[in-house]
Each structure stands twice: as structure tokens, then as C-alpha cells.
């Protein structure tokens, strides 16, 4: 995924499933378009967050 698409998903009022390249479901919490990274919540735990390169993100089902 690119940073622009990650930002579109973050801004969307729809729930768009996203996962990391290792298959873990994530929720995008913040996108830094300039640096190509996103802060994501992994799974259901709000304290389990990571900053990852947006190229590691995939829309589930695509």
C-alpha cells in the first residue's frame, strides 16, 4: 500500500479491513505521508501499537 491510500483508509467513514504483510489484522491510528509510515494498532489491544512502513500494509480481501 502507499501512504496516500493509507491516509484515505484512515480518513474514511467506512471500516476497511487492513492487515500487515504477516497477516495480522491492524487498525490505522495515524499516517505520516511525508515519511511513508503509519502507526497501527495490532489486533484488539489498544496498547499494542507499532509504527510500520506503509508498504507493509495490505487491504484485506485485495
Position 61 scores a pLDDT of 72
Of residues 39, 20, 42, 43, the one with CA closest to residue 30: 39
pLDDT, residue 19, reads 96
Phi (first) and psi of residue 61, to 5 degrees = 90, 0
User: What is the CATH architecture of 3-59?
Assistant: Roll (2.30)
pLDDT score recorded for residue 62: 63
Q: Where do the domains of the chain lie?
A: 3-59
**DSSP state string for 38-50:** EEEEETT-TT-EE
Segment 28-57, tens digit of pLDDT: 999 999 999 999 999 888 899 999 999 999
* CB 61, CB 51: distance < 8 Å: no
Amino acid at each position: 500500500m502507499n501512504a496516500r491510500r493509507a491516509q484515505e483508509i484512515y480518513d474514511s467513514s467506512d471500516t476497511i479491513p487492513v492487515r500487515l504483510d504477516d497477516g495480522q489484522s491492524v487498525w490505522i491510528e495515524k499516517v505520516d505521508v511525508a515519511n511513508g509510515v503509519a502507526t497501527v494498532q495490532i489486533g484488539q489491544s489498544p496498547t499494542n501499537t507499532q509504527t510500520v512502513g506503509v508498504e507493509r500494509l495490505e487491504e484485506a480481501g485485495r
